[in-house]
Chains A and B, each alone.
Chain A
Amino acid sequence: MTGLYQAQRAMRNMRRAAIQRGVVAILDVGTSKIACLVLKFDGDVAAREDGLGSMAGQSQFRVIGAATTRSRGVRFGEIDAIPETERAIRTAVQAAQKMAQTRVDHVIACFAGARPRSYGLAGDITLPAGQVSEQDVGRVLAACDVPDFGESREVLHAHPVNFAIDHRTGMNDPRGHVGNRLAADMHLVTIDTPAVQNLLYCIKRCDLELAGLASSAYVSGISALVEDEQELGAASIDMGGGSTGISVFIKKHMIFTDAVRLGGDHVTADISKGFHVPMSVAERIKTYHGGVFATGMDDREMIEIGADCGDWDKDRRTVSRTELIGIIRPRVEEILEEARAMLDAAGFDQLPSQQIVLTGGASQLPGLDGLAARILGQNVRLGRPLRVQGLPQAATGPAFSSIVGLSLFAAHPQDEWWDFEIPAERYPARSLRRAVKWFRDNW
């Protein structure tokens, strides 16, 4: 746990250094596309007359470079073929750098897969002095009993969600309060270690330094949910190419995340199999003619699915849109059912507001909100990412909600466990002994 703590702290320092330098790259390693933004941090938000910058002064950054490239070598949101992914990352980073006309050395990345798993942790300490200090917060977070999440799992996020002092609970910031017992709830997200290692390796091969890592479901929730949804309770369903991430927010904290290992690419694969067409053609058919509700009109709307094999009969095939929808819909239903099951397991129905926001590239399927409303409940809307300064028009669609959210995350990361000082008694004694030895040897 200490190693991870150090690694995350190092990444935090790297992020601070990058922001001080002014330029940082944001990388979304997705199954269908790899997107890269180059952010420029300049504190000139107060320059406007009304004193408000873009996003009411919350963002002090500007997007100066953006690029996307078709992702190769990523499956289910995890890196599958490392050299291919590395080349795709290189392509995206180079194009974004070219647009930004500057070189970036630090990158903050997010990815959807690697089987995220949520844990709710609780811990409490007795307060030595009356008032809660920052060290006490660190101590109570360190006192949370960490579950055994098994071999080769890595902690990605550890958000302190709730603090309680004696019988008062629901605190965001306990510092300065007076009491006897301080308790904390922490939300821990773990992912598979190999996935992180692969990503690290790819980024290292691109001569970049990782300045932060986030779960794609979490960051797309940040950008797709509006503030009161985050406050009152909402779920963001980020339907990506190979993976559908679910994150549940309440009181501006993520309290649950999970991922369905199904996404838009599976719909495309179904079409490809069903119509015996190449994946690229299937993708085009899905994009242009896809839908989830068939009407009588759709029986007459014939779609040329043409091929290029030289066989006239095969190349001149047509299908009706109803047939297409008949292929798409079961898969979409399956994804939504899975999401529903996960939300049920997370106790989403207990939340005061049960808003569900669909975002991600696969959420652009026409009629998806209606279908989702049947499966997930009535409070469903389609979400697009927040507008950030300088974002190109082409990158404002729902497919970019996670990268925009990651930009916001880069600018204003929520407090995590490693943002608090590790309590002194948790330092291993050996390092202290080593310091003493070094002192004795050298002086």
Chain B
Amino acid sequence: MPPLMAGERPVWHRRAGAQRPEPPITAHPARREPPVRMPVEDRSWAPAGEAPFAAGVQQPLAAVTEFGSAEFDLFDQDIAPRDAADDAFDAMDYEPDEATARDAYRPVFATSRRAEAAVGKFEEDDIAGYERAAAAIARASDILKRPVAAMPSRRAEAAPVRTAVRRSDRRMEQGERRDPAPSRLAYRMDRLWLTPLFRRFMRYGVPVLTVALAAGIYLGDADRRAAIGASFASLRSQIENRPEFMVKLMSIDGASVPVANAVRAMVTEPLPTSSFRLDLEAMRAAIEQVDAVESATVKLKPGGVLAVDIRERKPAVLWRTEASLEMLDATGHRVATLKTRGARADLPVIAGVGAEERVPEALNILAAARPVLPRVRGLVRVGDRRWDLVLDRGQRLMLPETGAVEAVERVMALDTAEEMLARDLVTVDLRNPNRPTVRLGPQAVETMKTMAANVTKVAGQ
């Protein structure tokens, strides 16, 4: 507000064209609303030309309802206009000594600060704010009413309180009740909040979106992603390398030395290592790839021991091929290569194309041929069809495709009864079970011829 010259009238209204308001019409006392028990601003100092806003006098309704009318500016005037009396006061030569002034002002300033602090917090519709403000103003004005020694001027008395009074207080002072109606905006916001979809969106959608957005922004940077990955990896390796998780030893049970060496060579991970880095299932599968191993279990035992339990394959037959001599187990699976037949003289030999796939059958035949087992040289698979049981002295039992075991048993029975195989036979052909045939050795043929001649002679006599 620019300072006014002496004698100049203040600008009463901010809005152009507005008239200086008439003094309010005081209602008939009998129709008056109950006066509000609230201290009112002391306007007794106001210039005489102005109508004071008396306590409890109700303003005409048009003046207090908020239709944005021009009259409302009337209540907006916090600062009273200056007039000649004020100028005269200012011109007065009065200088209180410092101590007096301080003592006199102290309570006023203190209370006015409190009042302002309280008022500063309130909002238009905040009733607690009203009450706080009213209480603070009441305290302030109570103190002001007290006689203060050497009160320097009435201006000091009134001014701080005046600044604390706001428009809403004025309205309350004039006996108007607070409007409980929500403003249109508040009403719309309230309705918006009560819309189920919006509510669900605000309650769940917005937090999720916010978090997702924040995470997206944070992880949008490649360096940051890499840093996070690196720190995660280092944390992981720290945990993995703790002594509790280290594997120091490997123990192999149930395996012969060469197999154990082979297995040991298969574990590529150098010990000691972390148990997190060992894939036991893959290790077990790899060990079971070794021909000599039938099954293996791989376990981690307390104390950092990698325990490998191996069941080896038991060689049951020798399989003679053109290139080598292999040991096979009872199922026909290869166990190992043998350099010399003499190394495992206890095992029977099989040979021929497809012999290794019929090992159980061969074993059955050999079991049936147990009585002549010392004489057995081996079994030969013929045409991947049937077996020949080869004995020493070049004897050969030609077995049928089906019922080989029964055929062998028949031969064994004949052998037991007639010592058939001890005779000079080259081949016993059992391929046709209905017509077993025997091929005699050369001497036996001669003997037969001789015997036949003798018989002829005898017959011819």
Contact = CB atoms under 8 A, between A and B. Distances in A.
B194 interface: yes
The listed residue with most B CB atoms (<10 A of its CB), out of A88, A94, A205, is A94
B33 interface: yes
Nearest to B191: A103
A280 B34 contact: yes
Given A91-B182, A309-B29, A103 B195 contact: yes
Contacts of B35: 308-310
Interface string A273-287: 100111011000000
Contact of B34 (A93, A205, A273, A307): A307
Interface string B18-57: 0000000000011111110100000000000000000010
Given A97-B190, A103-B191, A207-B191, A90 B184 contact: yes
B195 A281 contact: no
Contact of A94 (B31, B33, B34, B182): B182
A206 B185 CA distance: 11
Nearest to B66: A83
Contacts, number: 58
Contacts of A62: none
Given A94-B187, A101-B194, A206-B187, A278 B31 contact: yes
A90 B67 contact: no
Nearest to A206: B187
A69 interface: yes
Contacts of B187: 90, 93-94, 206-207
A206 to B, nearest CB: 7
B181 interface: yes
Contact of B179 (A87, A101, A102, A273): A87
Contacts of B34: 278, 280-281, 307-308
B67 to A, nearest CB: 7
Interface in A73-131: 83-84, 87-88, 90-91, 93-94, 97-98, 101-103
Counting contact residues on chain A (CB < 8 A from B), the size range is: 20 to 34
A15 B260 CA distance: 90
Nearest to A100: B194
B180 interface: yes
B196 interface: yes
A276 B34 CA distance: 12
Interface string B211-253: 0000000000000000000000000000000000000000000
Interface in B185-209: 187-188, 190-191, 194-196
Contacts of A277: 30
Contacts of A101: 194
Interface in A292-348: 307-310
A102 B181 contact: no
Contacts of A307: 34
Given A278-B34, A308-B35, A87 B194 contact: no
A91 B180 contact: yes
Contacts of B180: 69, 91
A310 B36 CA distance: 11
Indicate the member of A87, A205, A281 with the most B CB atoms within 10 Å. A87
A183 B73 CA distance: 66
Contact of B194 (A83, A90, A97, A273): A97
Contacts of A281: 34
Contacts of A278: 31-34
Contacts of A84: 65
Nearest to B193: A103
A101 B118 CA distance: 34
A101 B193 CA distance: 10
Contacts of B29: 276, 309
Interface in B158-200: 179-182, 184, 187-188, 190-191, 194-196
B171 to A, nearest CB: 16
A108 to B, nearest CB: 18
A90 B31 contact: no
Contact of B181 (A91, A103, A276): A91
Contacts of A87: 179, 181
B196 A90 contact: no
A276 B30 contact: yes
B191 A98 contact: no
Nearest to A84: B65
Contacts of B184: 90, 205
A206 B65 CA distance: 19
Contacts of B31: 272, 278
Nearest to B181: A87
A277 B33 CA distance: 8
B30 A103 contact: no
Nearest to A311: B29
Which of B31, B179, B191 counts the most chain A CB atoms within 10 A?
Answer: B191
Contacts of B56: 309
Nearest to B61: A81
A97 to B, nearest CB: 6
Given A278-B33, A309-B29, A97 B191 contact: yes
A322 to B, nearest CB: 21
A314 to B, nearest CB: 8
A336 to B, nearest CB: 28
A310 B55 CA distance: 11
B190 to A, nearest CB: 6
B88 to A, nearest CB: 34
Interface string B304-341: 00000000000000000000000000000000000000
Given A278-B32, A278-B34, A94 B190 contact: yes
A277 B65 CA distance: 23
Contacts of B30: 273, 276-277
A224 B29 CA distance: 42
Interface in A260-280: 272-273, 276-278, 280
Nearest to A314: B29
25 contacts: A69-B181, A83-B65, A83-B67, A88-B181, A90-B181, A90-B187, A91-B181, A93-B187, A94-B182, A94-B187, A94-B191, A98-B194, A101-B194, A102-B194, A103-B195, A103-B196, A206-B187, A207-B188, A272-B31, A276-B29, A280-B34, A307-B34, A308-B37, A309-B29, A310-B35
Given A97-B191, A102-B196, 14 more contacts: A69-B180, A87-B181, A90-B181, A91-B181, A94-B187, A94-B191, A207-B191, A272-B31, A273-B30, A277-B30, A278-B31, A278-B32, A278-B33, A309-B29
Please give me the 9 A-B residue pairs with the lowest Cβ-Cβ distance, nearest first: A87-B181, A276-B30, A103-B194, A308-B34, A91-B181, A90-B187, A103-B195, A103-B191, A94-B182
Interface of B: 29-35, 37, 56, 65, 67, 179-182, 184, 187-188, 190-191, 194-196
